[in-house]
Structure 1
């Protein structure tokens, strides 16, 4: 099942557009891949690293990721507790395949990346929504959703689509709930390095002594602009890693060998390079928020690629829904966004600042404001 942004990208690739299209629907960072990564990938190709490797990933990459985890979170994983996958998307799907029986329930944030629901339902599980957006999560309400069939809870921070970042206290409450009821806590940390201002990304890794009930998935796709490399990874209990690696073996075998060498170079990038990339995203987010704050109810994101304005006050006679608003905005003003209802929350739109520069943001936001005021 395609995500909303994938569906729109597919449509746009087949349809000639009138005017200058500004794409604010896609979660793909438009800064170039850092040259250190490109060089390492080319060197791997030149040196013949083009065949199969260990099913769970090349040893040097796994060792570097384990070292990074220990440095950042004081958690030391064994090499048998990490799996390098074809993007974190594959890791999440395999995880659902390996842990779910028919009728098992997984608590997922609402709104959320739609693939969570797809992965669960394709494996005969049941997705149960808990509210997570621009407000603090309500652990008492989440507790009411836990049943004897609850197998796992997925948390995503920084959050797609709202850009919110959960506090240390919120993460702790989810950790304690997981431990109390004995379900898996699955932390999707695709945007873990992208936090704005003085904020911090808190992982359950920072708070859990016993990580047997924790699964962490991460990717090189976002911050490093490596979406086409298809390299992600998962930390989990060795029994889960064994089952997922067996499944990966019959699905795709190892993740691309030479791309893993590029990922290895990414783990060694100087902090100033990463800061420059995060600062660029922060400037874009602040600028977009500033330009749209008088038109929509919009919260400044704390991290990630997206803004998630509430457009309910402009809906009514002209547009019946967020989906119609998005369609008309594309057709009339050539600005592509995605409807909030696709992520589980109607009367919102998701705006990506990953693929546009500040000049394009100014132009796009001007078109959006004009579009609303001329309705």
Structure 2
């Protein structure tokens, strides 16, 4: 007989790493809402747009005509796609990366972010996160057994505070994660603030991981400058981007990372161990997105701007219950609620259960987020209208 008794539960338990991580509130709130039923969403950051038809057509044609389209690609991605990404980075940002050795296609920006954290963060290393910040940035640092260190954004406008970053630096600091436009705040960081943080990275020999997922969607201002363009920063930056939001490819799971060759060599080790390569059909979708008409991006950006304006108008109508900073980019608003002193998780849960509206508790985005709800205006205008109608009835009934 086996030394394990028949029917005895195995003595397995989660690793130290997995016990440091929790499912993010961004994913948890829709799960709660699914149990409640009948909810409308201002929650998860998924724009409502369908994948553009020319991308669907291109991938369908490739799958029919190219037998290799259902097989693995090269580990760093299809050469034609990497070349197209290099051209976009050069044209839009003045960043020159070799498509052969300095660009890799990943399973969305999320895998690229995880590659960067796992490649360069050891147990006990500190990673500075300007906060409120994307919840997954926190979780990925913890998964690597690193230590998230929060540098508060300026509360008046959620802008980047270089002095707060300076105060957060210690001998154990390894990296800084920057995201502009930001999730969850929608802030586009000022160039002077970004330059000051890059100077700190240079002075203290720090890596900068730049999450540029929302760079394409800004309102009344140009695309933000990438940290990698500042003097001396190319050699210490990992630039990460995604096709998910820009081209309505969230379910296709395709993104990329760009870095100087010595950094990329280490990034590819993690990529190989975790994914081998991004899905080849998704890479064909990304190539079709870059090589096809770009007016679809402009149309989606204009629709998001209309939705932003709608969301701000509806919040203005509820000014007795909320205040907020109008976002300069992305499709999120951090709204501070004034009708309760309860923790944001409790408020967000009650909104689901009593008003049938999904929001994301601000406390899940680190210091500065508590007392807020993150609202996404990625949904259709009719859904935004209905969500605010329900919120309005709910807060007024409580008053």
TM-score, with length taken from structure 2: 0.88
Q: Give the superposition deviation at 1:138.
A: 2.2
Deviations 1:249-294 (A, max 9, x none): 2222110011101001111243322111001111101111111122
Equivalences, count:
367
2:335 to 280, 284, 309: 309
After superposition, residues 16-165 of structure 1 pair within 5 angstroms as 16-17=36-37, 20-46=38-64, 47-48=66-67, 49-78=69-98, 79-132=100-153, 134-165=157-188
In 1: Cα distance, 2:109 partner to 2:358 partner? 26
Deviations 1:128-155 (A, max 9, x none): 0011263332212211211121111001
After superposition, residues 221-300 of structure 1 pair within 5 angstroms as 221-293=244-316, 294=319, 295-300=321-326
In 2: Cα distance, 1:144 partner to 1:235 partner? 29
Given that 1:83 and 1:235 are in contact with CA atoms closer than 8 Å, whether structure 2 keeps it comes out as yes
Given that 1:70 and 1:76 are in contact with CA atoms closer than 8 Å, whether structure 2 keeps it comes out as yes
Q: Which runs of 4+ in 1 moved over 6 A?
A: none
Answering whether residue 350 of structure 2 is matched by residue 328 of structure 1, we say yes
In 1: Cα distance, 2:161 partner to 2:131 partner? 12
Given that 2:97 and 2:260 are in contact with CA atoms closer than 8 Å, whether structure 1 keeps it comes out as no
Deviations 1:233-256 (A, max 9, x none): 101122222222122222221100
Given that 2:129 and 2:151 are in contact with CA atoms closer than 8 Å, whether structure 1 keeps it comes out as yes
Deviates more, 1:267-276 or 1:63-72: 267-276
Q: Give the superposition deviation at 1:209.
A: 5.2
Deviations 1:344-368 (A, max 9, x none): 22100011111x2222212211221
The structure-2 alpha-carbon separation of the partners of 1:115 and 1:61, relative to structure 1 and needing over 3 Å to count, comes to same
In 2: Cα distance, 1:301 partner to 1:268 partner? 30
User: Which residues of structure 2 form unaligned runs of 5+?
Assistant: 1-21
1:357 to 370, 380, 388: 380
In 2: Cα distance, 1:73 partner to 1:155 partner? 16
Answering whether residue 391 of structure 2 is matched by residue 371 of structure 1, we say no
Q: Give the superposition deviation at 1:199.
A: 4.5
User: Which residues of structure 1 form unaligned runs of 5+?
Assistant: none
1:4 to 18, 22, 25: 25
Answering whether residue 363 of structure 2 is matched by residue 337 of structure 1, we say no
In 1: Cα distance, 2:340 partner to 2:227 partner? 39
TM-score, with length taken from structure 1: 0.94
Given that 2:210 and 2:239 are in contact with CA atoms closer than 8 Å, whether structure 1 keeps it comes out as yes
Deviates more, 1:100-109 or 1:58-67: 100-109
- 1:374 aligned counterpart, secondary structure: helix
Largest Rg, 1 or 2: 2
